[in-house]
Amino acid sequence: MPRPLVVVTDFIRPPLDHEERILGDRADVVALEAFSEDELVGRIEHADAIMMYHFLSISRRTIERLERCRIIVRCGVGFDNVDRAAARERGIAVANVPDYGTEEVADSALAMILAMTRGVAFMNTRLQLRQGPWIYEQVRPLERLRGMGLGIVGLGRIGTALALRAKAVGMAVSFYDPYAVDGLDKALGVTRCDSLEELLPRVRVLSLHCPRSAETQHLVNARTLALLPRGAFLVNTARGGCVDAGAVLAAIDSGQLRGAALDVLEEEPPPDDDPLIAAWRTPGTAAHDRVIVNPHAAFYSEQGLADMRIKGSTNIRRVLDGQPPRNVVN
């Protein structure tokens, strides 16, 4: 019998130190370094296990070509880029790695909140371009962070980690999560809201920590942005599809949003003609001064990157050794 084959589809390049250390005595491990599903054709069909990241999607057309795959591990928290139903029909487990970057994403969200609400990013950009005077008045008015309302959508691992950090700097934390267990608000000392319509008018900063799904697609849109107090701030370290970027640009231009920090976009990397990105890159526009864009990097630290590779490889090792997989999402 041939040795099992583990395919790493994207994002991770050789050397595969973590993967080889955990799987090398049990399977052959190859990295395809693909950027699209089309690049998998003829290279993935014989895989016994697949490790995938966020550069591409795996749809039914790929899953139906898999001849002996037992598990697909989405090495990250989100799993909207794999057809879980199609995999289940073929008897293939889909698992994620839900606990690899909790601290990093929460830290990044808080850093973005501080950079916007304290005017750090705004003043830095304007001083670099010599568009503003050497005085604090260019960023007026700023409000004290202590007591400022922070709204969190999705109080899972990362949302909870952000809530604790925000409380430590004195923010008044509220959240909306219809799937959170009763009493979580009491345990954390935060305020629960039963709807977005209840949450949004009471917060100055909105931070998203929910998965992308049919329920959350464009959850932040023109209608919901209008429910925020004028001059609010938006942070998205969740999934790009949860936010209508066109509505964000309009809200920035109108002043409804005073700032937006986006670690994730609906299309990554974004095309050059994306209106939000084009405005962000153009000095003198409101988006240039008031929008922060990062390249899907909130998860990153050397330890966090190693965690998702190690945890993903360990889960595949379990399956190859005949044990049930962990964190199955289908």
List, for residues 49-68, the tens digit of each pLDDT value.
999 999 999 999 999 999 99
Tell me how far apart the alpha carbons of residues 85 and 126 are, in angstroms, rounded to a whole number. Answer: 49
Please, are residues 195 and 149 in contact by the beta-carbon 8 Å criterion?
Answer: no
- Overall domain count for the chain: 2
- Give domain status of residue 326, yes or no: no
- Give domain status of residue 327, yes or no: no
- Report pLDDT for 222: 98
Per-residue pLDDT band for 134 (boundaries 50, 70, 90) equals very high
Catalytic residues: 239, 268, 296
- Report pLDDT for 293: 97
| 232 and 281 inside one domain | yes
| 93 and 211 inside one domain | no
Q: What is the mean pLDDT of residues 163-171?
A: 98
| 81 and 201 inside one domain | no
Q: What is the mean pLDDT of residues 275-297?
A: 95
Region of residue 218 (phi > 0: left; psi between -120 and 50: alpha; otherwise: beta): left
State the angle between helix axes of 157-168 and 102-117 in degrees (0 to 180), rounded to the nearest 10.
Answer: 40
Q: What is the mean pLDDT of residues 30-36?
A: 97
Tell me how far apart the alpha carbons of residues 324 and 28 are, in angstroms, rounded to a whole number. Answer: 21
Please write the tens of the pLDDT for every residue from 183-242: 999 999 999 999 999 999 999 999 999 999 999 999 999 999 999 999 999 999 999 999
Tokens (6 digits) for 108: 């990044």
Q: Mean pLDDT over all residues of the chain?
A: 96
- Single-letter amino acid code for the residue at 1: M
| 289 and 315 inside one domain | no
What is the span of the domain harbouring residue 95? 5-100+302-320
DSSP state of 203: -
Q: What is the mean pLDDT of residues 247-251?
A: 98
Q: What is the mean pLDDT of residues 167-191?
A: 97
Tell me how far apart the alpha carbons of residues 159 and 109 are, in angstroms, rounded to a whole number. Answer: 10
Please, are residues 181 and 197 in contact by the beta-carbon 8 Å criterion?
Answer: no
- Report pLDDT for 129: 83
Residue 256: helix, strand or coil by DSSP? Answer: coil
- Report pLDDT for 128: 87
Please, are residues 176 and 193 in contact by the beta-carbon 8 Å criterion?
Answer: yes
CATH number at residue 197: 3.40.50.720
| 157 and 81 inside one domain | no
- Report pLDDT for 133: 87
- Give domain status of residue 329, yes or no: no
| 242 and 195 inside one domain | yes
- Report pLDDT for 2: 84
- Report pLDDT for 132: 80
- Give domain status of residue 182, yes or no: yes
Peptide bond into 141 cis (omega under 30): yes
- Report pLDDT for 130: 83
Whether pLDDT at 135 is above 80: yes
| 152 and 230 inside one domain | yes
Place of tokens 């949003």: 257
- Give domain status of residue 330, yes or no: no
In angstroms, how far is CA 190 from the centroid of its own chain? 23
Tell me how far apart the alpha carbons of residues 158 and 187 are, in angstroms, rounded to a whole number. Answer: 16
| 270 and 195 inside one domain | yes
- Give domain status of residue 325, yes or no: no
Tell me how far apart the alpha carbons of residues 120 and 143 are, in angstroms, rounded to a whole number. Answer: 13
| 139 and 236 inside one domain | yes
Q: Computed over its alpha carbons, how large is the radius of gyration of the chain?
A: 21
Please write the tens of the pLDDT for every residue from 81-127: 999 999 999 999 999 999 899 999 999 999 999 999 999 999 999 89
CB contact set of 278 (below 8 Å; sequence gap of 6+):
272
Whether pLDDT at 1 is above 90: no
